[in-house]
Amino acid sequence: AQSVAQPEDQVKVAEGNPLTVKCTYSVSGNPYLFWYVQYPNRGLQFLLKYITGDNLVKGSYGFEAEFNKSQTSFHLKKPSALVSDSALYFCAVRVPGQDNAGNMLTFGGGTRLMVKP
């Protein structure tokens, strides 16, 4: 069975500083990896995904994520945090190659990012 872990419930950074939100995964096979963000009382918004190719993936709002196969990690990063980045971030995995996989994602528990002015 596949699983995703986000080891930090909360990450606090100062505005302008770099941020990292950690994610590790456990799957059999090559995963599709995703990051989503959730603002208060809203649904989730897609940020970026990794399928194959370059290990550094760029996404929306200046976010990027680095895929590391040996460490089974997919950490979300941003060079300079904004107060408006404060939200709940979810890492997710989908295992391709199964005809019926469809859009069934397994999500991590979420990490609350707080960016202070």
Question: What does the binding site for other proteins look like in residue numbers (CB under 8 A)?
Answer: 32, 34, 36, 41-46, 49, 51, 90, 92, 94, 96, 100-110
38 or 86: CB nearest other proteins: 38
Task: Output 18 or 96, the one with its CB closest to other proteins.
Answer: 96
Nearest partner of 21 among 5, 3, 2, judged by Cα = 5
Q: How far is the CB of 14 from other proteins (least distance, A)?
A: 27
Distance CA 115, CA 117 (A): 7
Do 114 and 12 form a contact (C-beta atoms < 8 A)? yes
For other proteins, the closer CB: 23 or 105? 105
CB of 7 to other proteins, least distance (A): 14
C-beta of 49: minimal distance to other proteins in Å? 6
Q: How far is the CB of 98 from other proteins (least distance, A)?
A: 10
What CA–CA distance (Å, rounded) separates 92 from 33? 6
When the beta carbons of 70 and 100 are compared against other proteins, the nearer one is 100
Phi/psi at 53 (nearest 5 deg)?
A: 95, -140
CA distances (Å), origin 35, targets 65, 78, 79? 8, 13, 17
